[in-house]
Structure 1
Amino acid sequence: MNKGYEDVLSSISSSNPTPGGGSVSALILSHAHSLATMVARLTSGRDKWSDGQGIAEEIISKSEESIETSLRLAKEDALAFDSVMNSYRLPKDTDELKETRKEAIFDSTINAASVPLEIMHEASNLLNDIINLAKFGNLNALTDLLGSAELAYSSSKIASLNVRINLDSINSGDQKDDLKAQVLELTLLTKERYEIINKIIMERLQWK
């Protein structure tokens, strides 16, 4: 395991602009899914936590696909930003080439903003599942579940930064306005869901 982690960290810490924050946010999300799945497995099949069986099984059934989606988004984010960089390198010797370059920059930047936005959606969905597991899951693993929620929330916050910085580089328009509205909505939603989880777990642990 350490070797794989070392390779990933080496790639992130290189002087290359990718993989960057967007990819890292997706990798964080994959860890959040993994940790939530562990808690679900520690809940599943245990009579003491019978009320949590449904959500535990649901999380387990989705875990492989969810983790794969997170890893796919990590790759896609790096590729999307590489595409933006390549668009800026296009020739601009004539008016026609300038227009082609301008369109390429716009399209690639919208795509580069859309990938971390998808990460935010995925993080929000996971937090919604964690709410239900927090209510009825294995009491002995609640700190791990809160750790998962912290990771998912952090993933969403980092992803939002990447959406916003990409949108800042393009002129206003319907697509930009729509993406900005989605970021705001997801930012509020993930914060609300994280706070609900934190409250539930603190009360169950009697840490309030």
Structure 2
Amino acid sequence: MNELTIEGYLTELGKKEGTPGGGSAAAYIASMSAALIRMVADIQKDKKAYADYSEEITQALEASHALRKAFEQLAKDDAVAFEPVLMAYKLPKGTDEEKERRQEEVQKAIKGAAQPPLEMLEKSHDLIDLIEQLTRMKMKGTIVNDLMVATLFVGTVLETAVLNVTINTKLLSDANERNALEKKAIERLSTGKQRISQLRQTIEYFLEKNEWPESI
């Protein structure tokens, strides 16, 4: 996947024998959100009206770029995350020892497959941090619309990441481990949705009235 163009990736995504799936696609959507956030910050960096925020803007530029790269890597990680599970299921199971080893490897691989979407949940909150930071600067113009798009993208990523956590955890035989992972994912989704909802209300207020709410 390292050398794929956007067209090549979408072709691969649409093939029945292709490696990437919904989790990988969500990670690329998150990377687009990060890129949009960086664009908004980049537009503001040299404007006199935001001179007081120069340090914050510089930090946002660096953080958004780092997050974009992180999500690009997560897209690749997620695309291959289930392969070890399939390989584990193919291990021999003729003897009790082989069955035990196969079960251990399957469970280990399943936990590994759940890691990319769990990481997406965490890093999605980092994207939300940046969007909140930029809205507090009370910027003007059509770039606020791009900030809304970035916000909507993050909401989609949060929902998708939880789906991809639970599709894996359902295969875990250890109920305690399964419940712990699912609880963590659902909590991060719930908190993220609350933050996204507040951001949407705030940005929608500006888009409708061309001014930011006093409470921001």
| TM-score (normalizing by structure 2) | 0.88
Q: 1:172: how far off?
A: 3.5
Give 1:35 deviation, angstroms: 0.5
Three-state SS of the structure 1 residue aligned to 2:187 is helix
The answer to whether the Cα contact below 8 Å between 1:32 and 1:151 also exists between their aligned partners in 2 is yes
- Report how far residue 52 of structure 1 moved: 4.5
Q: Percent identity?
A: 28
* Aligned partner of 2:178 among 160, 172, 176: 176
Residues 39-188 of structure 1 aligned to structure 2 (within 5 Å): 39-50=40-51, 52-140=53-141, 141-188=143-190
Counterparts of 2:86 and 2:56, CA distance in 1: 43
Output the aligned Cα RMSD.
1.8
The whole-number CA distance in structure 1 between the counterparts of 2:198 and 2:52 is 19
- When you count helix as a share of all residues, which structure comes out higher? 1
Deviation, 1:173, is 3.5
Q: Deviations over 1:48-99 (max 9, x none)?
A: 2345544322220123321111111111112211111111111111111111
Matched to 2:184, the amino acid is: Q
Q: Cα distance 1:156–1:85, how it changes in 2: closer, same or farther (>3 A)? A: same
Question: Helix, strand or coil: the match of 1:159?
Answer: helix
For structure 2, the residue ranges without an aligned partner over 5 or more in a row are none
Paired position in structure 2 for 1:202? 204
**Amino acid in structure 2 at the alignment position of 1:85:** L
Q: Do 1:18 and 1:81's aligned partners in 2 also have CA atoms closer than 8 Å? A: no
Q: What letter is aligned with 1:99?
A: E
What SS does structure 1 have at the residue aligned with 2:132?
A: helix
Query: More relative contact order in 1 or in 2 (CA 8 Å, sep 6+)?
Result: 1
Q: Structure 1 segments of 4 or more deviating over 4 A? A: none
CA distance in 2, matches of 1:189, 1:47: 35
Q: What is the SS of the residue equivalent to 1:136? A: coil
3-state SS, counterpart of residue 136 of structure 2: helix
Judging changes above 3 Å, is the alpha-carbon distance between structure 1 residues 48 and 205 closer, same or farther for their aligned structure 2 residues? farther
| Maintained 8 Å contact 2:24/2:78 | yes
CA contact (8 A) 2:64 2:130 kept: no
Q: Helix, strand or coil for the counterpart of 1:16?
A: coil
CA distance in 2, matches of 1:191, 1:25: 16
Measured after TM superposition, the shift of residue 10 of structure 1 is 0.9
User: Which amino acid letter does the alignment assign opposite residue 109 of structure 2?
Assistant: S
Structure 1 residues not aligned, in runs of 5+: none
Q: Which residue of structure 2 aligns with residue 37 of structure 1? A: 38
Q: Deviations over 1:7-45 (max 9, x none)?
A: 000111111262111111111111010011000111112
